[in-house]
Amino acid sequence: FALAEPHVCMAPCAAAAEPDTAAAYSSSDTSDGEHGAAGRRYIRLPCGCICIGEASVNGSSVRAGDATGRVVWGASEELADWCCRERRPQQLLASFSSAVELGAGCGLVSIALAKLGLHVVSTDGDTCATKLIQRNASRNGVEATRLRALQYAWESETQLEEVLQAVGRGGRCSEVLVASDVIYSSDDTSFAPL
């Protein structure tokens, strides 16, 4: 199994930061609050450069348990790139105003969609990941009114109701539902809640 070569900027992207927050994009910034040491990746997309903090170093979890949602995977980079290209006028996403991302992990796709002007509900089953999504959104100048991160375990009807309310369409789902690399199990029961 090999990942495609990521489109990672080798230096902080000045375009990703607001002028008054440019200092936050220092390549020496390697802490991530309660998650311990983390790397910063600057991912260049057609819609701009996005800074993503990961809560692991060299693929190793900084906390016990499963950290797959706390690193950026190649599929999310490809999906974010596709979303940026499809948001242009006359493309698939051009007319939509809201999105929900399932299994958002670090939030790269959600942040890209929010920067493109969509209102996004970014979900993950891991509460540490949802906190990381909010920090990454803030790092990239995405306001909390534009992107909301919520814990959503697919089997939880209560959490589903919270997600639908956050979408703000009268309890209906968003216009766009995105997900990448969300199932890593050969167990067929993982798909049942979806």
> How many whole angstroms separate alpha carbon 42 and alpha carbon 85?
18
Q: pLDDT tens digits for 65-110?
A: 566 777 888 899 999 999 998 887 777 777 888 999 999 999 999 9
Tokens of 64: 């016990």
**Per-residue pLDDT, 110:** 96
Given a contact cutoff of 8 angstroms between Cβ atoms, the answer to whether 127 and 154 are in contact is no
Q: What is the reported pLDDT for 67?
A: 64
Sign of CA dihedral 143, 76, 90, 49: positive
Predicted confidence (pLDDT) at residue 114 exceeds the cutoff of 90: yes
Percent of the chain with pLDDT over 90: 37
